[in-house]
Chains A and B, each alone.
Chain A
Amino acid sequence: MRKLLLVTSAIAVGLIFLVRLFYLQVYNSDSFNILEDTAIRAEYNYPKRGYVYDRNGKLLVANQPSYDVMVIPREVTPLEPSEIKDFCNLLGITAEDYEKKLTKATNYSPRLPSPFVPQLSKADYAVLQEVMWKYEGFYIQKRSMRSYQTDIGANVLGDIGEVGQKEMNKDSYYKLGDLIGKQGVEKSYEDILRGVKGIRFIQKDRFNKNIGPYKNGQYDTLPKPGKDITITIDSELQAYGELLMKHKRGGIVAIEPSSGEILAMVTGPSYNPNLLVGRERNKNFSRLFRDTINMPTYDRGLQAQYPPGSPFKVINALIGLQEGVVDVNDRFSCRMGYYYGSRKLTGCHHHRSPVDMNQGISQSCNAYFVNVYRRIVDKYDDPGVSMNKWAEHAKSFGLGNFLNNDLSVGRPGRIPDGDYYDRAYGDNRWGSTYIVSNAIGQGEVEATPIQLANMAAAIGNRGFYYTPHIIKNIESDTLPSNFTVPKYTTIDKAHFEPVVEGMFDVYNEGTASTLRIPGIEICGKTGTAENFVKIDNVKTQLTDHSIFVAFAPKDNPSIAIAVFVENGYWGSRFAGRMASLMIEKYIKGETTRKDLENWIFTHSLENEYKKPYSGEPFRINGETQLQLIENYALKD
């Protein structure tokens, strides 16, 4: 037995060691990750972010170098108070900021780099670079920052900003301090514009000194530059639209019907995209986002969702024809409205009566469309069946759902169907008279300006549209088929002609006859939307929104447009004028009707927008007076 003590001890110790090694190296070993290894520092080389051009090749967004002061907290050697003071002076921060930022970075990670002072100016960088060696643990990271070549299109172009925790969790490519597209095309085309950053692995020693490339650089990668993109926007048209929208709130969306390309996408009020570049970005960003009254970051062209009003009538006309419940020559009489028995379901304005489809559209007769709509709903014994068919037709115009395109924001709008009313009223406990508001685009129907522009494009195309999109070309890449394959409506091509004629006559003899453009055949439709706000919990009506939908020329249209002006009162008053000017600007390249243009430039709605906040009772619609901008001088 005495012989065995040492032998067994030796074997036992050997086994214990093997188990321990197994635990350390196999069971508990974080499989070697080059980025986690404290002996290696990854240095990033950020590629050029792709440029953004407009459809005519005009450069909109380029880059400028940006210099971030980064910190790796555990490598920071404690500084004397006087040294901290010097350093803070160079960085333009206070000594308190210094401590706060350092604590924050340490809390994030003592050994990973955190941005300390982002986006220095070039001048600051030049000074700082000379003395950087004095401050161990700090280094300057070069990145590429945006340089806007224009001050328009903030909502289209979007911006880039420091990546957030959520984005880092979603994609491990991003490290703290990286920039990422936050809005607009910067967001939707982030992957393409960004490129791929290059990595250089540096072997460090215990004292954190560089001792050369790790494994002779065999894991290092070169940065891949981001690809340039061309967007569908016509920057001149966009700029003109933004000019027209000054002193108003609203949105303009213009689409090329033959391709679905978005020519202009205006929202008002907007801001200068240069505000969101550089060190002032965060301050400006929160100022813009906190402005809940003007909401400059809310894209009214894409997100404002309202009952579209009269423009929607043409959809009912098309559905009526497709369902065979009405003929173009069917006439309906109008007695300043539509009566159900002795009850007036909807009013109308003064015009000759009875009207056929053409006049119904051009005169925008409410009674005509209630008749058509009731025939559609009453076609089947179960109104639910009829309404489901109706909704299917309406939705085939891209209404009532997200457009599924490449814009970073959007709203679905709403097209109610039979099931919707079954839920609201109970199964079969409703009929056409309950829901006649839909006949004239009021009631439950809601749409965004881009949906209305797309609807106009589908009508102009006589039955199909391309999903409206912002991307025209990606450097050495093709566009997704979603944007190149036409989407057909459920309406036969033949039914469009009479409707298009009706919309043409809106300009010829109807509600927009004053807005004709010499030499261009426009088809359009005016609209108004009643709207309400809650003031001290009282539902209060405001002046109607002014809406206009149009396309031109009548045959093979090159532009379809929707204009929406908040509290602009009636359709042709603001929206119609602006649509007419936009169409002329796009087709002719210039505007000839300077008095019309001046009217828009000199009329502001800002007083109108102040009313709900004034705390005083106010008047709306016909009882208001328009505000004139005096001494208006058109900027060159």
Chain B
Amino acid sequence: MYRETQRRFQFDWIIILIFLLLVTFGYLNILSASHVGEITSYFDTSQLYGKQLIFVGLSFVLIILILSLEAKFYERFASIIYLVAILALIGLFIFGKDVNGARSWYGIGSMTIQPSEFAKFATALAVAKYISDIQTNMKTLKDQVRVAAIIFIPALLILLQNDAGSTIVYLAFFFVFYREGLQQVYLIVVLSLILLAVLSLKFGVTITSLIAAVVLLSRYFLRKKKRSSIIQYILVLALAIGFSFGVKLFYQHGLKVHQQNRISLWLRLEKDPLKLEQMKKAEAYNLIQSEQAISSGGITGKGFLQGTRTTGKFVPEQETDYIFSTVGEEWGFLGSSFVIILFVALIVRILYLAEAQKSQFSRVYGYGVASILFVHFTINTGMVMGLIPTVGIPLPFFSYGGSGLWGFTILLFIFVKLDSNKINEW
């Protein structure tokens, strides 16, 4: 008995408290965003808020289950869990159900399950398992390729199922690899490529090439140690120009029209006011409504269940991807800042605990959890506030949906379990 009590108190209560706050606040906002007319019963399962309440209840069952399993279980079965997740994703091609053009659901009776939500923690486990192997060295190309394959397989499957948003999330693992020893040059390359892509779209290939040339040449002439020849610099420049061309071509021919438009709106590429207006009508309706809803909240918000835009269902998909606009409208600057701070605090807390882990598996997994939450939070909230082009992914613990809530709950609480076990490591 004594041992049991002691172990329970080893759970990190800060994470659990933040989780409870997010889930509760999320539920309240789903209630607001989804109710139509009078709320007769909170358990009315014909309503989204009724269903969400059940999802929340079931997530507590999951938590108890996760916390009661041995911590070693997750490391031992990481590969098997990963395999099951991959099989579930492959199975979608045969048994899956199309929802809004994405084939990412299993239908079980009236319930639907989205395996991609569960593939995230499975991948995080697999990555942790692989990296924490004593034979693995992230500085070698062989291991880099293998670990990349672990994330590439689910990402590709999800992309093939037409869920581009969820695919992007797998980029989160870059943070994990970097923490675990990936060379600095990768970071520089990634940042340079992002910068190059944005510059190419915004200012065109010529100006981008010129900027790249100036930066590289000035670096060549200003360097102190002459380790590499001018040829290498010119080669890099050629690659940069090639990439710039590639981005432009891909933007023009590789993207679907709505994706093009979203990027065009984000980078303000369209100058013709008439076309811009059409583009906004076609693509930015959600965004404009969402920004207006947030903006109309003011400092203190209009109050719970009092948002006029929320009540009027002005923001489509408000209970899922656009749930943050409900927070903005009804709880104002104070409420939305609170949510932002909760997320940042959660991520920072996980990272702090991850660094304190004695087992590399726990640390890598913790990093995976933090990275995935960070990417979801950044893309979703950024999109709802109009800072990032529209990408359809949910806000963790907030957005409506069983699969999403359970996926994130499992993701988080496996880490809580691993963390609680750090004393028993030896």
- Of the listed stretches A19-27, A117-125, A410-418, name the one at the interface; the rest are far from the partner chain: A19-27
Q: Any chain A CB within 8 A of the CB of B382? A: yes
Interface 0/1 of A23-34, CB less than 8 Å to B: 011101111100
Bound form: Cα–Cα A6–B316 in Å: 32
| Chain A residue at smallest Cβ distance from B292 | A38
- A202 → chain B closest CB, angstroms: 10
In the complex, A29 Cα to B340 Cα: how many Å? 19
Knowing A5-B175, A7-B348, the reply to whether A37 touches B374 (Cβ < 8 A) is no
User: Residues of A within 8 Å of B, CB-based: how many?
Assistant: 36
Name which residue of chain B comes closest to A13, CB basis: B378
Interfacial residues of chain B within 322-349, with CB under 8 A of chain A in the complex: 328, 332-333, 336-337, 340-341, 343-344, 347-348
Q: Mark B279-297, 1 if CB is under 8 A from A, else 0.
A: 0000000000101001111
Partner of B311, one of A10, A14, A24, A203: A203
Contact in complex: B340, A17 (CB < 8 Å)? yes
Cβ-defined contact, B385 with A24, below 8 A? yes
Say yes or no: B37 contacts A11, CB within 8 Å. no
Q: Which residues of B contact A6 (CB under 8 A)?
A: 175, 179, 347, 351, 367, 370-371, 374
Q: Which residue of B lies closest to A17 (CB)?
A: B340
B313 to A26, Cβ gap below 8 A?
no
A356 to chain B, nearest CB (A): 84
Q: Does B246 contact A (CB under 8 A)?
A: no
Q: Are B308 and A39 in contact (CB under 8 A)?
A: yes
On whether the beta carbons of A17 and B385 are closer than 8 Å, the reply is: yes
Q: Is A206 an interface residue (CB 8 A)?
A: yes
A-B pair count, CB < 8 Å, reads 117
- Docked Cα-Cα span, A14 to B378, in Å, equals 8
**Roughly how many angstroms separate A206 CA and B294 CA in the complex, as a whole number?**
16
Measured between beta carbons, the chain A residues less than 8 angstroms from B299 are 25-26, 29
Nearest CB in chain A: distance from B316 CB, A: 7
Residues of B within 8 A of A11 (CB): 344, 348
Closest Cβ of chain A to B267, distance in Å, is 17
Nearest opposing residue in chain A for B343, CB measure: A14
Among the 9-residue stretches A83-91, A207-215, A438-446, the one with 4 or more Cβ atoms under 8 Å from chain B is: A207-215
Given the known interface contacts A6-B367, A11-B344, A204-B312, the answer about A25 and B374 at a Cβ–Cβ threshold of 8 Å is no
* Other-chain contact of A20, B347, B355, B385 (Cβ < 8 Å): B385
Instruction: Name the residue among A7, A24, A40 with the largest chain B CB count within 10 angstroms.
Output: A24
When the two chains form the complex, which single residue of B187, B295, B351 contacts A7, counting CB atoms closer than 8 Å? B351
Nearest A residue to B336, CB-CB: A21
Q: Please indicate the chain A residues that have their CB under 8 angstroms from the CB of B179 in the complex.
A: 2-3, 5-6
A68 to B387, CA, bound (A): 45
Which residues of chain B have C-beta atoms less than 8 A from A204's C-beta? Answer: 312
Set of chain B residues within 8 Å of A24, measured between Cβ atoms: 291, 294-295, 328, 385
**Once the chains bind, are B333 and A203 in contact (CB under 8 Å)?**
no
Residues of the B chain whose Cβ atoms lie less than 8 Å from the Cβ of A25: 294-295, 297-299, 328, 332-333, 336
Q: Does B309 contact A (CB under 8 A)?
A: yes
B306 within 8 A of A: yes
Interface: B390 (CB within 8 A): no
C-alpha spacing A16/B378, complex, angstroms: 10
Q: A215's contact among B37, B306, B336, B343, by CB below 8 Å, is which?
A: B306
Query: How far, in angstroms, from A39 to B308 measured CA to CA in the complex?
Result: 6
Name the residue of chain B whose CB is nearest to the CB of A10: B347
| A18 sits at the interface (CB 8 A) | yes
Tell me how far the C-beta of A211 lies from the nearest C-beta in chain B, rounded to whole angstroms: 7
Enumerate chain B residues within 8 angstroms of A75, measured Cβ to Cβ. Answer: none
- Inter-chain contact A205/B312, CB cutoff 8 Å: yes
For residue B381, CB closer than 8 A to chain A, the reply is yes
Judging by beta carbons under 8 Å apart, are A32 and B298 in contact? Answer: yes
* Chain A residues, Cβ within 8 Å of B187: 5
Does A9 count as interface, using CB distance less than 8 angstroms? yes
Residues 155 to 206 of chain A near chain B (Cβ within 8 Å):
203-206
| CB contact list, B173-195 vs A, under 8 A | 175, 178-179, 181, 187
B314 at the interface (CB under 8 A from A): yes
Residues in B with CB closer than 8 Å to A30 are: 295-296
1/0 contact string of B256-294 vs chain A (CB within 8 Å):
000000000000000000000000000000000101001
Known: A20-B385, A37-B308. A10 touches B178 (CB 8 A): no
Given A5-B179, A30-B295, 18 additional A-B pairs, CB 8 A: A5-B175, A6-B351, A9-B175, A9-B374, A10-B370, A13-B377, A17-B385, A18-B337, A18-B340, A21-B294, A25-B332, A25-B336, A29-B296, A32-B298, A37-B308, A205-B313, A205-B314, A212-B37
Give 12 pairs: A residue, B residue, CB < 8 Å, sorted on A.
A2-B179, A5-B178, A6-B370, A17-B340, A18-B340, A21-B294, A21-B336, A28-B295, A37-B296, A39-B311, A205-B312, A206-B312
* Closest 8 pairs between A and B when the two form their complex, measured CB to CB: A14-B344, A39-B308, A39-B312, A25-B333, A205-B312, A10-B347, A24-B295, A6-B175
